[in-house]
Structure 1
Amino acid sequence: MSTMNIRTPKFYWSQNSTIAYKDISHIVTLGDSLDNKDDVADVSPERAEAVSDNTAASKKYDRLIGSIEYPDGNDTLLYPVFRVLNSLTTTKQLVHILHFGDSQIEGDRVSSYLRNQLQKKFGGAGMGVIPIVANGPASLPYTYEISSGWERYSAQDKIKKSDNNHYGIFLSYYKLKSSVVNGTDSFSGWVNLKWPNTRNPLIARFTNCKLYFGNVTAPFNVELVQNDLVLNKRTISKSSAFDCVTWKFKRSEKNLYIKLSGTESPDFYGVSLTCDSGVSLDNVPLRGSSGLEFTKADQLFFKRVLKDLNVKMLIMQFGVNVVPYKTSNYSFYEKSLSRQLSFLKSIDRNLQIIVIGVGDAARQTENGIESYPNIEKIRDAQRSAAFTNGCAFWDFYEAMGGKNSIYSWVHADPPLAQKDYTHMTRAGARIAGELLYRAFIEEYTEFSTNENRVKS
Structure 2
Amino acid sequence: MIKSIRYIIPIFTIVITACCCMAESKTKIVSGIVDFGDPNAEQFASRLKSLSINQHTEQVVKITQFGDSHTAADFFTGEFRTLMQAEYGDAGIGWVTPVFIKGQNHIGVSWESTNWEVLSSRALSDIDFPMGGFIAKPIKNNAKIQIRPKVLDNKIWQVKLTFKMVKNTPNPLVVYDDNNHKIYLSTIPKANVWQTTSFKSKLPIEINGNENTEIGGIWLTRYRHSGVVVSAIGTNGAKQAIWQKWSPNWFKELALSQSDLVILEYGTNESFDETLDVNEYRSNLVKNIRQIRKLLPKAAVLLISPPDTMVNEKQIPKLFSTIKNIQKQVARSEKTLFWDWQAAMGGRYSVKKWLAQGLARPDLVHQTLQGYKESAKIFYTDLNEFVRKK
TM over 0.5: yes
User: Residue deviations 1:357-380, cap 9 Å, x none?
Assistant: 11111133xxx5343354222211
Shift of 1:155: 4.2
Retained in 2: the 8 A contact 1:223–1:233? yes
Is 1:439 the counterpart of 2:388? The answer is no
| Partner-residue secondary structure (3-state), 1:114 | helix
How far off is 1:385 after superposition? 1.9
Q: State the 1:409 CA deviation.
A: 0.7
2:299 maps to what in 1?
A: 351
Matched with 1:231 is 181
User: Could you tell me which amino acid in structure 2 is paired with residue 280 of structure 1?
Assistant: V
Count of residues paired in the alignment: 358
Q: Secondary structure of 1:110's partner? A: helix
Q: Which moved more, 1:326-335 or 1:393-402?
A: 326-335
Residue number in structure 2 paired with 1:218: 169
Q: Which amino acid is 2:260 matched to?
A: K
Aligned to 1:274: 222
Inter-partner Cα distance in structure 1 for 2:77 and 2:316: 25
Q: 2 CA distance for matches of 1:237 and 1:363? A: 50
Residues 155, 167 of structure 1: 8 Å contact kept:
no
Contact 2:200 2:223 in 1 (8 A): no
The aligned residue for residue 41 of structure 2 is: 78
Confirm or deny that 1:306 pairs with 2:254. Answer: yes
User: CA contact under 8 A between 1:100 and 1:284: conserved in structure 2?
Assistant: yes
**Can you give the 5+ residue segments of structure 1 that lack an aligned partner in the other structure?**
1-5, 7-27, 31-60, 179-186, 448-456
Counterpart-to-counterpart distance in 2, 1:63 and 1:380: 17
SS of residue paired to 1:311? coil
1:379-430 CA-partner distances (Å, limit 9, x unpaired): 1111112222221111111111111111111111xx1110001101111111
Tell me how far 1:195 sits from its aligned partner.
4.9
Which residue identity lines up with residue 233 of structure 2 in the other structure?
Answer: V
Greater C-alpha radius of gyration: 1
CA RMSD between the two structures: 3.1
Contact 1:190-1:259 within 8 A present in 2 as well: yes
Asked whether 1:376 is paired with 2:339, we answer no
Matched residue, 2:110 = 143
Q: Which of 223, 226, 246 is residue 199 of structure 2 equivalent to?
A: 246
Q: Is the 8 A contact 2:38 2:335 kept in 1?
A: no
Give percent identity, aligned residues only.
Answer: 17
Q: CA deviation at 1:356?
A: 0.3
Distance 1:108 1:205, change over 3 A: farther
C-alpha distance after superposition, 1:97-124 (max 9, x if no partner): 1111111123211111111222222222
Question: What code does the residue aligned with 2:182 have?
Answer: N
> How far, CA to CA, are the matches of 2:42 and 2:272 in structure 1?
37
Task: Please report how far the alpha carbon of residue 275 of structure 1 lies from its aligned counterpart in structure 2 after TM superposition.
Answer: 4.2
Q: For 2:321, what is the secondary structure of its paired residue? A: helix
TM superposition shift of 1:69: 1.3
- 2:136 alignment partner, one of 161, 171, 174: 174
Name the CA distance, whole Å, in 1 between partners of 2:277 and 2:242: 21
Partners of 2:33 and 2:221 in 1: how far apart? 30
User: Which structure 2 residues correspond to residues 173-212 of structure 1 after superposition, within 5 A?
Assistant: 173-178=135-140, 187-195=141-149, 207-208=156-157, 210-212=159-161
Instruction: Give, in angstroms, the shift of residue 167 of structure 1.
Output: 1.4
Amino acid at match of 2:99: V
- Structure 2: unaligned runs, 5 residues or longer: 9-29
Match of 1:426 in 2: 369
Paired with 1:334 and 1:213, the residues of 2 have a C-alpha distance of 30
Which residue identity does 2:161 align to in structure 1?
A: Y
